[in-house]
Amino acid sequence: MTPEEERTAEGILYTDFYQLTMAQLYFRYGMHERDAQFDHFFRSYPDYGTHQAGYCINAGLQWLVEWMQTARFGEGEIAFLRSQKSASGQQLFADDFLAWLKQHGTFEGISIDAIPEGRVVHPNIPLTTVRGPMAMAQVLETALLNRLNYQTLIATKAARIHQAGRGRSVLEFGLRRAQDKAGNAGARAALIGGADFTSNVGLSSLMGLPPKGTHAHSMVQVFMALGQGELEAFRAYADVYPDDCLLLVDTIDTLNSGVPNAIRVFEELRQKGHEPVGIRLDSGDLAHLSIRAARMLNDAGFRDVRIVLSNQIDELVLLQVLSQIEEEAKAYGVDADHLIGRLIYGVGTRLITSAGDAALDGVYKLVAVCQDDEWKPAIKLSETVTKVPNPGHKRAWRLYDRRQRATADLLGLYEEDPAAMDPVILRHPTQADTSRTIKRENLTAIEPLHVDILREGKLVYDFPPLEAIREQRRADLERLDPGVQRLVNPHIYHVSLTEKLWNLKRDLIREYK
Amino acid sequence: MTPEEERTAEGILYTDFYQLTMAQLYFRYGMHERDAQFDHFFRSYPDYGTHQAGYCINAGLQWLVEWMQTARFGEGEIAFLRSQKSASGQQLFADDFLAWLKQHGTFEGISIDAIPEGRVVHPNIPLTTVRGPMAMAQVLETALLNRLNYQTLIATKAARIHQAGRGRSVLEFGLRRAQDKAGNAGARAALIGGADFTSNVGLSSLMGLPPKGTHAHSMVQVFMALGQGELEAFRAYADVYPDDCLLLVDTIDTLNSGVPNAIRVFEELRQKGHEPVGIRLDSGDLAHLSIRAARMLNDAGFRDVRIVLSNQIDELVLLQVLSQIEEEAKAYGVDADHLIGRLIYGVGTRLITSAGDAALDGVYKLVAVCQDDEWKPAIKLSETVTKVPNPGHKRAWRLYDRRQRATADLLGLYEEDPAAMDPVILRHPTQADTSRTIKRENLTAIEPLHVDILREGKLVYDFPPLEAIREQRRADLERLDPGVQRLVNPHIYHVSLTEKLWNLKRDLIREYK
């Protein structure tokens, strides 16, 4: 694969073949430039088996839009499509369609409304709404789902791990177990959702952050193979990095070799006027070893050096480790709060793969088609009533109660305004006999969730810097009920429809049944 | 992110930061150009929870090597490293090290032996052996694991799905649920492991395959929203693609609308001299619906049109679907074998994410360091004896028994030759008192597993085309015991050490304990 071939494979052909066969059909039937609207949303939170998410963190939009602005059909793309044959041996894509694609096959006619990155999001609320000429809005589907599903999945996992870690630093260490080139998107999403830094150097350079990491077991092994030992390896590290000395202590034996050797080197450093940074534990019982190591460090006068925990960490492992520390620390003369306060988590495989649920079920559904300047709502029936998408051009609002907490997301038709409703009636999205009524006076805010991103291909949004996205995430999580944030069996957050939208959906279903 | 920034983030900085801090330490201690050897291997097969792999399919090597040949430190990379600060505020990477990196920071000194792509592989046998100057062999670790772990994971899942599908065609449909740009590597791995084609257009163009797919629900919805219906949508499809007419029949109601409409359009097609291709079922009880649809198609004289099943398919779902068809078909007057013979599987999310186990635990361990032209074996002790890597420069052989079946993989020192041993003694890799003895006459072949790939950066291997890789996979699977291939609770394949390697490992462990 040459770099040129790689660019082709990651360009506009990064899509499913049926998008192109459908595009040609729309072209043949004169529908290709007719405006259509697609909603991107997920149907259910990640379910990790033994634990479940009660919210997601939206991510991925900026990189998708940047890709859209460069993707187009060049000579190579057209040549490949021209080479495709029908079962009868004829050219599958006709020359007139290919000529149209060459000239108009860009995303320059596409408009996007979306919920910004970093926001808390919930099922069935469109995260992204795409309007534009039908053929290209259809071609966009695959890349959009590919980019947005994955980053939202990983940002969500990162938020959970950050939450389980009680605010201590989370370092993203997953590049080696990431899915090929997704390591960059995954690290970016982790940084949005809850990781403070990443070990990924290239991605750190993109995000303007310092990458993190010190040394691996192999450095200690090199010294051992050359007839020296762990102590010499640690001394070498302290020599080269006297102010950044964080030592991995489990290459030989954590408590009998690693920690004592680290303490010896820390003492030597201190004598030279440098303060050591910490140790890292990467195997064994992390709770027990961190208590024992903390005791040894405390006794040696290093109460402030950090203890980095790594090795198969996720939100449940952290729950367990911290609870075990709280039970067990005292018996070893260690203050649990002080120990927890000095922890840092290096999180690899289980964050970058969203262990337990490795895909978000985000979908991209046609909800309206424009005919004679009038938008016609579209619907897809389904064997499962919960899978029938909400039709039409819509908006979503977040309702805040008197405690300033988000109490529901409300999905309605574009022309509606819940601020003018009193009371606000929230219809259950699928159960006809279930609704909730809130007096307007009991709502402190009704916040529209979508912002304009693209208007006919033109960017009308300033993508915020990482720190602003994180600030949005923190603000949203503060306003989210703790029950909804519970790591296991969370409360269900209300996602509701307005009366008007509910009625439209019911009428369309009746019409087609 | 500009395309230039993206190339930087996917270039040589696509690594963990500690690789660079260690490289500088080796530079400072004059060890950076000393030869070291690292082995890449996985410790355990994927465990999907309710089912487990008994073998893996090796994949990813070609794309890794192609990346290695272009990755280097340019001005931008060096400038980013120069901007990194120590905790004391000083420049973390010194100018002399950066100058060395700029000039020598390539993989031109690296040699690689590896097991070819498409081969059946097992735990603890090095899939890839890297030798070269220590600093750059260390920097390579992250990218190597990232590229090889993921493709091997996905090729393995594809082999299992292909196996569960009893040889029927498997189409890879996962791009929308793939992990950002990993969609291409994942589809390539799927094609190596067991998928026949993919819907991914760009990747198909790279691999020289026709991409697959016809239409989505949205096409039917468009016609419905414009006041027409499913039948008109199907007719339009048949009109544009008369020889490639495969219709998705579950947008409204599979048995009461989709299949009858498809049959009507198929009859019209046939009258015009075209043969229809098939239908696709994408929701509901796929076994039951395929039986009912087959009956309707048979009764209408379309016994040969294909039935594509999609929606959350994996190896266990296929086991269940095919077994249900065998039990239930007869009651509907359908021949189960005939029905199974016309099935095609469209496999999305659960293949491209390796559902159940989303990461292969591949590692990259230092096993030897060169000093004064002599290789010193390196070892890493561990709390768990099964995690102690096998030291030294090694080779691996596959032993075939009298049935021409692979009976064990044998790992030995480089200078050993099991062909000259009689009997061949296979030591259990961790249990001192367990071994197996095979008389030479009971072995029909002793096959070396590794081939030369790179010699000091120079490619000395012709990467085979996809079809040859697949042929290798088919040949290896034919020679693998069916018990080892079982989808649930497979037999354990023997991976053993020679006496000499066992003794070396034991002596090194004793020395360091």
Set out the domains of chain B in order of their start, with CATH numbers. 213-347 (3.20.20.70)
Mean pLDDT of A495-506: 94
Confirm or reject contact between B90 and chain A (CB < 8 A).
Answer: yes
On whether the CB atoms of residues B60 and B453 are closer than 8 A, the answer is no
Q: Is A13's CB within 8 Å of B376's CB?
A: no
Name the minimum distance, in Å, from the CA of A412 to any CA of chain B.
Answer: 20
B241 closest CB neighbour out of A21, A29, A49: A21
Q: How far is B144 from chain A, CA to nearest CA, in Å?
A: 8
DSSP assignment of B362-392: EEEEEEEEEETTEEEE-----SSGGGSPPPS
Q: Which of residues 452-511 of A touch B (CB under 8 A)?
A: none
Whether A288 shows a pLDDT value over 90: the answer reads yes
Distance CA B1, CA A70 (A): 11
Please classify residue B319 by burial: count the beta carbons closer than 10 Å to its beta carbon, then call 0-12 exposed, 13-18 middle and 19+ buried.
middle
Percent of chain A at pLDDT > 90 equals 92
Measuring CA to CA, how many Å separate B458 from each of A148, B12, B82, B148, B364? 39, 18, 30, 20, 22
Does B414 contact A at CB distance below 8 Å?
no
Q: Is the Cβ of B145 closer than 8 Å to some Cβ of chain A?
A: yes
What is the value of pTM for the model shown? 0.98
- Helix axes B17-28 and A230-240, enclosed angle (nearest 10): 100
User: Phi then psi for A309, rounded to 5 degrees?
Assistant: -105, 130
- Return the pLDDT at B432: 86
Residues from chain B contacting residue A25 (CB–CB below 8 Å): 215, 219, 236-237, 240-241
Partner-chain residue, chosen from A3, A20, A214, that has the shortest CB–CB distance to B21: A214
Residues A217-235: tens digit of each pLDDT: 999 999 998 999 999 999 9
Output the pLDDT for position B447.
Answer: 98
Q: Is the ipTM of this complex over 0.90?
A: yes
Interface test with B, best of A73, A142, A218 (most B CBs within 10 A): A218
Residue B2, pLDDT score: 86
The sheet carrying A35-42 orders its strands as A374-377, A362-371, A35-42, A128-133, A111-114, A451-455, A458-459
At which residue do the structure tokens 């086991």 appear? B319
pLDDT for B387 equals 78
- Contact at CB, B18 and A215, closer than 8 angstroms: yes
- The model's pLDDT over A31-71, given as tens digits with 9 standing for 90+, comes to 999 999 999 999 999 999 999 999 999 999 999 999 999 99
pLDDT at position B383: 61
Confidence of residue A206 (pLDDT cuts 50, 70, 90): very high
SS3 A497: strand
- Alpha-carbon distance of B375 to B367, in angstroms, equals 10
Tokens of B295: 């009956």
Q: Which stretches of chain B drop beneath a pLDDT of 50?
A: none
Residues 244 to 303 of B: which have CB under 8 A from any A CB?
244, 250-254, 277, 283-284
**CB pair distance less than 8 Å for A378 and B221:** yes
The mean pLDDT value for A472-495 works out to 97
User: Which chain B residue's Cα is nearest to A237?
Assistant: B25
Residue A191 forms contact with B (CB below 8 Å): no
When CB atoms are compared, the residue of B173, B199, B383 closest to A283 is B383
Beta carbons of A253 and B222 less than 8 Å apart? no
Q: Is A176 on the interface with B (CB under 8 A)?
A: yes
Q: Which of residues 309-348 of B touch A (CB under 8 A)?
A: none
Interface test with B, best of A173, A179, A252 (most B CBs within 10 A): A179
- Out of A259-273, A322-336, B202-216, B363-377, least confident range: B363-377
What pLDDT, on a 0 to 100 scale, did the predictor assign at position A450?
Answer: 97
Q: Which of B108, B97, B109 is nearest to B36 (CA)?
A: B109
Averaged pLDDT of chain A? 96
Segment A384-408 mean pLDDT: 91
Residue in A20, A70, A252 nearest the CB of B3: A70
Q: Is B21 on the interface with A (CB under 8 A)?
A: yes
DSSP line for B409-447: EEEEETT--GGG-SSEEEE-SS-TT-EEEE-GGG-SEEE
Q: Which of B22, B40, B70, B201 should one mutate to test binding to chain A, selecting the residue with the greatest count of A CBs within 10 A?
A: B201
Question: Residue B126's pLDDT is what?
Answer: 97
Q: For residue A78, what are the β-bridge partners?
A: none
Q: Do B146 and A36 touch (CB under 8 A)?
A: no
Are the C-beta atoms of A180 and A150 separated by less than 8 Å? no
Phi/psi of residue B91, nearest 5 degrees = -60, 125
d(CA B93, CA B139): 15
